[in-house]
Amino acid sequence: MLTPSRLTLARRRRGLTAAELARKSGVGPRSIGDYERGRRQPAARTTSALAAALGFPEPFLRAPDAACVPESAVAFRAPAKLPVLRRESAVAAGELAVEFNRWLETTLVLPPPDVPTLEHPDPETAAEMVRARWNLGSDPAPNLVHLLEAHGVRVFSLPVDCVEADAFSFWHAGTPFVFLNPVTSAERGRFDAAHELGHLVLHAGTHPLDAERQANAFASAFLMPRAGVLAAVSRGPVTRQVLGHRATWHVSALSLTYRLRDLGLLTAEQYTSICAELSRATEPGGMSHRESSRLLTKALRVLRESGTTPRRIAEELMLDVEELNGLLFGLVVTALPGAGAIAPPARPALRLVPS
């Protein structure tokens, strides 16, 4: 039997309206509504036509209800500017990631969540509290993806067809999820990870515009802690010095310039002058690679060693490999031993769950 919520999930993931799915599948629009509401069941050949039109395996449409993530729970950057179908497709990708995470948790022992949710602190204080909890001191933060994963955040890529959503995060059943845009610069990806951590820590019930400002302030303070920056940077640095210091904190020169102004190390005039100089040329140097996932890379390696390939994982999730790859793109360097650069073993340790 077709599962109504699965049909809706697949349609949303493909960014289709019910009328568009009807045209693609040759099924009447009223019938699509009836199937999604569970009012009646389609014939077997109709289910096949729906699966083909959606590009999902038929078993996906017959599986039990998948995870449901309310759109109101998702921290989008500018929800009003993102078309409804794009938002729905991105949230549906998030729901598929929740299903993948559920599958991983039945197979492997993953780090438990260790992300505080703080009520009413200002972003600067919140960033200092999280840094203290995670024993970061005032030093530059390490690889942000590794750091989030070590503290129980499930980090995934946005599928390329969803990158218009930029990056987002949500809590689901007590587990925090972050989705990063895989096609931005390395520094931007790092800032996005800290930004989404700010949403997870701060923003239950906060107005979206205020939440964005606060998340940006949190990310700036988390990546460039006040005490560390004040100790390292002299007052009134010139552009060349800003470019040198940004390598220490692994942020863009513009982000560091904004932070230096915020901390009183640049006057308004100095800030404007440096921003103008930076805008006239591409920033030299910078991070050579985006930060990748240690947890997912190691999980896939452990599974492969036990005989479970990515294709087998996709089959168990009733997805095609391309859909699964979309959630891993840019985060997993390689799942093949010896076929590329792999991060050295470190927290979190993974092991198979005994069956």
Tell me the C-alpha distance between 325 and 329, whole Å. 6
Q: Give the single-character DSSP code of 164.
A: G
Q: Which domains does the chain have, with CATH numbers?
A: 1-66 (1.10.260.40), 69-223+292-355 (1.10.10.2910), 226-279 (no CATH)
Tell me the C-alpha distance between 346 and 355, whole Å. 25
Taking only the tens place, the pLDDT of each residue in 231-253 is 999 999 999 999 999 999 999 99
Is pLDDT above 60 for 348? no
Q: Write down the pLDDT at residue 253.
A: 95
Taking only the tens place, the pLDDT of each residue in 122-162 is 999 999 999 999 999 999 999 999 999 999 999 999 999 99
Mean per-residue pLDDT over the chain, rounded: 91
Share of the chain above pLDDT 70, in %: 91
Tell me the C-alpha distance between 207 and 215, whole Å. 12
Sequence-distant (6+) residues with CB within 8 A of 329 are 157, 159, 160, 182
Q: Write down the pLDDT at residue 77.
A: 83
Closest CA to 321 of 89, 329, 184: 329
Tell me the C-alpha distance between 179 and 291, whole Å. 13
Q: Write down the pLDDT at residue 204.
A: 57
Q: Write down the pLDDT at residue 280.
A: 85
Is pLDDT above 60 for 344? no
The answer to whether 141 and 166 have CB atoms below 8 angstroms apart is no
Under the banding of pLDDT at 50, 70 and 90, the label for residue 284 is low
Kindly give the interhelix angle for 294-305 and 310-317, rounded to the nearest 10 degrees.
Answer: 100
Taking only the tens place, the pLDDT of each residue in 256-280 is 999 999 999 999 999 999 999 998 8
The answer to whether 166 and 178 have CB atoms below 8 angstroms apart is no
Q: Write down the pLDDT at residue 208.
A: 67
Closest CA to 154 of 117, 185, 115, 201: 115
Task: Give Cα separations from 194 to 8, 180, 337 (angstroms).
Answer: 32, 11, 30
276: its two tokens: 């103008």
Sequence-separated contacts (24+) of 202-211 with Cβ below 8 Å: 202/117, 202/118, 202/121, 202/123, 202/126, 203/75, 204/117, 208/75, 208/76, 208/78, 208/79, 208/80, 211/75
The answer to whether 60 and 51 have CB atoms below 8 angstroms apart is yes
For the chain, what is the radius of gyration of the CA atoms? Answer: 22
Q: Write down the pLDDT at residue 69.
A: 96
Q: What is the 3-state secondary structure (H, E, C) of 91-138?
A: HHHHHHHHHHHHHHHHHECCCCCCCCCCCCCCHHHHHHHHHHHCCCCC
Under the banding of pLDDT at 50, 70 and 90, the label for residue 207 is low
Is pLDDT above 50 for 342? no
pTM of the complete model: 0.91
Annotate 199-266 with DSSP letters as a single string.
Answer: HHHH-TT--HHHHHHHHHHHHHHHHS-HHHHHHH--SS--HHHHHHHHHHHTS-HHHHHHHHHHTTSS
Find where tokens 């093949």 sit.
336
